[in-house]
Structure 1
Amino acid sequence: MYSRLLILTLGTFSVGTDSFVIAGILPEISRTLGVSISATGLLITVFALSYAVLSPVVAATTAHWPRKRLLLGGLVVLAIGNVLTAVLPSYGPVLASRAVAGLGAAMFTPTASATAASLVPPEKRGRALAVVMAGLSGATALGAPLGTVIGSEVNWQATLWFVAVLAVLGAVGIGVLLPAVPPAPAIGLRRRMAPLKDARIGFTLLTTVLVFTGLYTNYSFVAESYDRATGGSGTVLAALLFVWGLGATVGNLGAGRLTDKADPRWIIATAVTVAAVDFALMPLTNRHLATAVVAVFVWGVCGWASLVPLQHRLITVNPAHATLTIGLNAAATYLAVSASGLTGAAGIALLGAHRLSLFGLGFLVLGLLSSAVATRLIRRGAGRAVAPQT
């Protein structure tokens, strides 16, 4: 079972690396394509928006596909998108290639989460989700830094080839090791979208949007927020980001085990509350390297500790629509990531870079309120899900 889950993890590792690595090679891409840094930054936005918009569409329109075929297809499309980014000569086509890569990610990650949940008994579902999502959190600690090093030592195109190779290796592993997973029942598009009428699901997705907007508002401008602690050193900043990614991996895996033993609502509430306290103290802790290391680690742990219980809540509320609701949650996450550049810029304009965490804190508090509403609805049985009909 775990060998199959680890193969899915390799796939999410390639997706996560693709999501985060572009930020580390933006200057090189900008110089090669002859466009500004701000224009080059749209490569990140296009990938995130493609993922966010297409995840629920893919989940709704491919539910009748065998899961193994969809997983393989997603990694192949991801690899193709990265190869195109590496070989295309001008900005416009390169920008379009990032949308292709986003489509591959949208095909793979929600399907991988739903497949992992289906491969294990319910009492081990949290751990299975955590193992697969460890690919995303691990990519922040290892994949993105390694890809950045490849870009600096060779060229940025080599970084994209590296991601493509990861995707191909994941596809080969899935082709060899993953058993056939039957598709969902064939139902109409309107019936597939019925979970959106469920208030429990709606407020859980809103929680994801608010919490991850808060978390990534600070991450998008982490260099500016922590320049006092890093002294402007890119190497020290990279080390801080590694600590953040290490914390993300610890939080993700720890939350997976806890979710199988405790009520997910308490895990979500605790993780977001501790993150909020951490953010409230950041204008002080981001002054010195020692306190910055602690703050960044806590940020990574608590931020990613909320992801698995949110997914688990969606699957538990409506198991019949697990693939769709997980896809919607992935869309919500990447909507938050794509919006964080705007919210971060707004926060800096209002409060300054060193107090940016206080702006993100507002979103975390709203996320706590949204999660509390979802919990109350779940306990009351409100917003009952619509059962699928063939």
Structure 2
Amino acid sequence: MTTAAAADSARPAMPAVLWPLLFGNFVIGTGVMAVPGTLNEISGSLDVSVATAGQLISAGAVLMCVGAPLCAAFVAGWDRRRLLALSMVWYALLHLACAFAPDFAWLLPLRVLALVAPAIFTPQAASCVGLLVPAEMRGRAITFIFVGWSVASVLGMPLAAFVGGTLGWRAAFGVVALLSVASAAWVWRAMPDGVKPPALSKAAWSETFRSPALMICVSVTVLYAAGQFVLFSYFAPYFKATLDITPGALSLFFMWFGAFGLLGNMVMSSYIDRIGAPRSVMIGIGLMAASMAAFPLGTNVWLAALVCVPWALGCFSSNSAQQARLVGIAPSLAAASVALNSSAMYAGQAIGAASGGWLLARGAMDWLHWAGLVGLLASMGASALATHYARRRP
């Protein structure tokens, strides 16, 4: 047995309490990605353009962007068992309300309100991991619970796309509501009482905002999220227009993308503590940029699937590594920095979806991947700068 294999076998298994957090992120990710997966159905059912339907993505992302740090401050003293379970109950009720929305004017605000839950669950689940596992397991534990987002891409988003394409988008939202109820019950049953990360003072928030290493690191997330979501938000209409893809083939494509996203996150979880979070982030972004550069080669469904493999490998793993990177730079400020990073991810989604919608409205669909590549290359530059400042931090 090699030294590396022996080290892998010697590492302790993840505590059982982390599994409901992973499942919660799966449900959160499935709900967030349900709209991109059913964008064609929403557009046709409610008689609005694809660009208008895309406002569901950008408006929801703005709410999550603003809501993550605000909620982090508001819920600082809450018991995490109650907070995380209640956030999933909220997710269930609002997705059910969305499923019964009579028109787009009702759907848009209900969808925005539903996304209060992701603004709370994902960052607060990550911020309390340090109280659930030993310090030496922190990096693995954080990337482990973010595997839920990868599983959402391999199972949840294809499920939503398939249900939406066969039974309608309302049925897809109903599935998310049912999964949210199951998640709330599991969190309530498995999480211990009394998990309360220390509340951050105004001085701690101030220190976070004044840290060049942390804030540049957060900007990395904004840039690579925007770069991805220029195109990712509009996969369904893009492939419908360019490849005449069917709903069944689209769900299989999402499953393919998600399978490699899950693989990338699992590999990252295994090796991040060895190669370091900054290098892991750079590798993930570089893989995504490679797919954007090669995207014109995807002239049929099979080639498009192959071109997207590097993107999928880096998509979720890079965000998991970013969370661990921020915690490593300043562990005492993790509650603030992780919330800001979630906010940054959603800000990037809003920027990317809005930019992609702007291009679509002007008939520039073929420019989506080039705009995405610009964002990813800028993110790589910012990541190198963040590493420089992190090395200078005491």
Question: What is the TM-score when the length of structure 2 is the normalising length?
Answer: 0.88
Q: Is the aligned partner of 1:267 residue 2:280?
A: yes
Question: What CA distance in whole angstroms lies between the structure 2 residues aligned with 1:181 and 1:212?
Answer: 34
Q: Is the aligned partner of 1:16 residue 2:33?
A: no
| Cα RMSD after superposing both structures | 2.5
Native 8 Å contact 1:351 1:359 kept in 2? no
Shift of 1:56: 0.5
Q: Is the aligned partner of 1:201 residue 2:214?
A: yes
Structure 1 stretch displaced more, 76-85 or 269-278: 269-278
Q: Is the aligned partner of 1:244 residue 2:237?
A: no
**Amino acid across the alignment from 1:341:** A
* Candidates 113, 122, 127, aligned match of 1:109: 122
Structure 2 gaps, min length 5: 1-13
Q: Is the aligned partner of 1:319 residue 2:349?
A: no
Residue correspondence of structure 1 range 276-315 to structure 2 within 5 A: 276-283=289-296, 285-315=297-327
Question: What CA distance in whole angstroms lies between the structure 2 residues aligned with 1:75 and 1:39?
Answer: 28
Matching residue of 1:89: 102
**Amino acid across the alignment from 2:216:** F
Question: What is the TM-score when the length of structure 1 is the normalising length?
Answer: 0.89
Matching residue of 2:351: 339
Native 8 Å contact 2:128 2:197 kept in 1? no
Q: Is the aligned partner of 1:76 residue 2:89?
A: yes
Report SS of the residue matched to 1:276.
helix
**Amino acid across the alignment from 2:257:** W
Question: What CA distance in whole angstroms lies between the structure 2 residues aligned with 1:309 and 1:107?
Answer: 20
Shift of 1:177: 1.1
Q: Deviations over 1:267-326 (max 9, x none)?
A: 11222223323322222x212444322211111102222111211111112222222211
Shift of 1:373: 0.8
The count of aligned residue pairs is: 381
Matching residue of 1:254: 267
Structure 1 pair 227–24 and aligned structure 2 pair: CA distance change class (3 A):
closer
Shift of 1:181: 4.5
| Percentage of identical aligned residues | 28
Shift of 1:351: 10
Structure 1 stretch displaced more, 371-380 or 178-187: 178-187
Residue correspondence of structure 1 range 186-225 to structure 2 within 5 A: 186-189=199-202, 191-223=204-236
Native 8 Å contact 2:258 2:312 kept in 1? yes
Shift of 1:118: 3.2
Shift of 1:62: 1.1
Q: Is the aligned partner of 1:370 residue 2:382?
A: yes
Structure 1 gaps, min length 5: 385-390
Structure 1 pair 232–289 and aligned structure 2 pair: CA distance change class (3 A):
closer
Q: Is the aligned partner of 1:64 residue 2:72?
A: no
Report SS of the residue matched to 2:137.
helix
